[in-house]
Chain A
């Protein structure tokens, strides 16, 4: 069974059709990339999947469950995490607290247990604190465990978002341009990280402009153009697809 399924989805903003009758499936495991020129609707697609927007028509299914009308915070409880193209980090918290935020749903969050600092809450929070440090180590941010978020460089913040997303123990991870603004070394490290994540059982959906990264790592690629699906297939198939070459790769090469 497919893990994520987008069914004949259309999203209109006034007269603009940002997504037009789009259908595709994401199978469990693998790295699924969504590519397309600027304005093709990639981030809009992420916002539709995570519930920031509701589709005009069509629907999203996660593990067979229809997500229509479900608010963002409830979708997050279904094992789906994401990162953001323009960073969404809490600069009023330390780096580690940002990661701990991602684990919110796994913690005792009753007001009384927080107010009175009940033992079970303290224990769970301590475990969460330790796990956050491990996750930071995992994404290569071990040196920043005790840092303020404001004291970290841009490349590190991109990884911090990934660590926060992982803190929720997601089965499906949506990465919105994780390599944007990174240099070649940092991009290579992100590629390795995505590879490791995937090996550890996380299904990844990737929106990315760096074609080298996409072609290296993707098991499945969906190409969008003006909100419509232009092509779909393996990296090899996409690379040789005449429409894709004309619309996108051709223009870049």
Chain B
């Protein structure tokens, strides 16, 4: 087809449809502008409202989870590939970093880089065979991968400390040891903002369209010249690498790591954060991580019924907001505004 003929016939229309129609509402409700601004403002003012070790600890866990969940949402929400073993990458990154830094006295950042590198390597090798599977089969395979990693971390006590876990030397960068909660808060907040920005860029790009096409129609992607296996591997490795990075930072922050960080329940929690916040919604990923990290703390008042209430909240949200919190509310508000 000659592009020229289209352009010559398209002269009259080039003005209107070519330009991106954007009202102030589009800007406010976009992930790139409105969502980004809301995130930055929230992160900046949060330290003014929280106090004490416990509240900072919660805030830091939210930051770590939110970063992992944004990357996981690229895999699950955008590219439509389920992973029920993602905590294993988080845990493996944590253990890899901890073992090198604590037992072998590697410099902290080098240990972190090596931990992430190890996970990236494993994810890259496993991506091809695993991501050929679809739907339930993919879920099973990722579940299996997660279990294997969990078992290794539990069984190889000589290296990992076994089920009891292991303590981790604090993060020391250029002679400066990071102890202070507020410093951790700012470091992790900056990483979250960076992750969010990268994720927004990816989703709004040719690569992002290719990823979403894997979810929408693999047949269409394939016939548009998109190498389906390549993009599946890419997003799988990216999300695993981010999980490993945050696992390593978590190990440094908490000073202790246990196999449960790599366990099945943690994997499920991460996926639930994606789904509850909203598939293919970056703001949703942050909101999902925020709510589900804090929810158990507030449900403590129900004592032995805590997990019953937790399950009930999840069920109600999914029944009444099947698209997840943020996409549903977003749609609702936009409809009201017209």
Do chains A and B interact in one complex? yes
Interface membership of chain B positions 7-27, coded 1 if the CB is closer than 8 angstroms to chain A and 0 otherwise: 101100110011111000000
Decide: A101 and B1 in contact? CB cutoff 8 A: no
Choice from B3, B5, B210 contacting A109 with Cβ under 8 Å: B210
Whether A92 contacts B209 in the complex (CB less than 8 A), given A164-B220, A170-B1, A201-B1, comes out as no
Task: Give the distance to chain B from A112, nearest Cβ to Cβ, in Å.
Answer: 10
Which residues does chain B contribute within 8 Å of A50, judged by CB atoms?
223
Which residues does chain A contribute within 8 Å of B215, judged by CB atoms?
90, 92
Q: Which of B210-244 contact A (CB under 8 A)?
A: 210, 212-213, 215-217, 219-228, 234
Interface residues on A, range: 35 or more
Choice from B6, B19, B216 contacting A91 with Cβ under 8 Å: B216
Q: Which of A107-135 contact B (CB under 8 A)?
A: 107-109, 111, 113-117, 121, 125, 128-131, 133-135
A125 to B201 alpha-carbon distance, docked (Å): 12
Whether A73 contacts B17 in the complex (CB less than 8 A), given A92-B212, A116-B201, A135-B6, comes out as no
Which listed segment binds B: A138-146, A208-216, A232-240?
A138-146
Decide: B213 and A125 in contact? CB cutoff 8 A: no
Decide: B206 and A137 in contact? CB cutoff 8 A: no
Whether A104 contacts B13 in the complex (CB less than 8 A), given A109-B206, A201-B1, comes out as no
Decide: A93 and B213 in contact? CB cutoff 8 A: yes
Choice from A52, A168, A169 contacting B224 with Cβ under 8 Å: A168
Which residues does chain B contribute within 8 Å of A107, judged by CB atoms?
206
Say if the beta carbon of B202 comes within 8 Å of chain A: yes
Choice from A77, A125, A145, A201 contacting B206 with Cβ under 8 Å: A125
Q: Residue among A81, A88, A91, A138 with the most chain B CB within 10 A?
A: A88
Choice from B206, B216, B221, B227 contacting A121 with Cβ under 8 Å: B206
Which residues does chain A contribute within 8 Å of B18, judged by CB atoms?
129-130, 133-134
Interface membership of chain A positions 159-172, coded 1 if the CB is closer than 8 angstroms to chain B and 0 otherwise: 00000101011110
Say if the beta carbon of A100 comes within 8 Å of chain B: yes
Which residues does chain B contribute within 8 Å of A173, judged by CB atoms?
1
Report whether over half of chain A's contact residues are helix, strand or loop; otherwise say mixed. Answer: helix
Decide: A101 and B6 in contact? CB cutoff 8 A: no
Which residues does chain B contribute within 8 Å of A84, judged by CB atoms?
219-220
Choice from A71, A74, A90 contacting B212 with Cβ under 8 Å: A90
Choice from A111, A129, A136, A197 contacting B20 with Cβ under 8 Å: A129
Say if the beta carbon of A89 comes within 8 Å of chain B: yes
Whether A115 contacts B217 in the complex (CB less than 8 A), given A88-B223, A100-B209, comes out as no
A133 to B9 alpha-carbon distance, docked (Å): 12
Decide: A114 and B201 in contact? CB cutoff 8 A: yes
Interface residues on B, range: 35 or more
Say if the beta carbon of B177 comes within 8 Å of chain A: no
Which residues does chain B contribute within 8 Å of A52, judged by CB atoms?
219
Which residues does chain B contribute within 8 Å of A146, judged by CB atoms?
21
Choice from A109, A128, A133 contacting B207 with Cβ under 8 Å: A109
Say if the beta carbon of A20 comes within 8 Å of chain B: no
Task: Give the distance to chain A from B202, nearest Cβ to Cβ, in Å.
Answer: 5
Say if the beta carbon of B208 comes within 8 Å of chain A: yes
Decide: B209 and A115 in contact? CB cutoff 8 A: no
Say if the beta carbon of A105 comes within 8 Å of chain B: yes
A92 to B208 alpha-carbon distance, docked (Å): 12
Say if the beta carbon of A82 comes within 8 Å of chain B: yes
Task: Give the distance to chain B from A98, nearest Cβ to Cβ, in Å.
Answer: 8
Choice from A74, A90, A93, A145 contacting B17 with Cβ under 8 Å: A145
Whether A169 contacts B3 in the complex (CB less than 8 A), given A102-B224, A145-B17, comes out as yes
Decide: A131 and B228 in contact? CB cutoff 8 A: no
Which 5 residue pairs spanning A and B have beta carbons closest together?
Answer: A90-B216, A133-B17, A114-B205, A76-B225, A130-B18
A residues near B, CB below 8 A? 50, 52, 71-74, 76-77, 81-82, 84, 88-93, 97-98, 100-102, 104-105, 107-109, 111, 113-117, 121, 125, 128-131, 133-138, 142, 145-146, 164, 166, 168-171, 173, 197, 200-202
11 A–B contacts, CB within 8 A, in A order = A72-B222, A76-B222, A88-B223, A101-B220, A104-B206, A117-B204, A129-B20, A134-B17, A138-B10, A168-B224, A200-B1
Since A88-B223, A101-B224, A101-B226 are in contact, a sample of 7 more A-B pairs with Cβ atoms closer than 8 Å, ordered by chain A residue number, is A89-B220, A90-B215, A90-B220, A115-B201, A129-B20, A166-B1, A168-B225
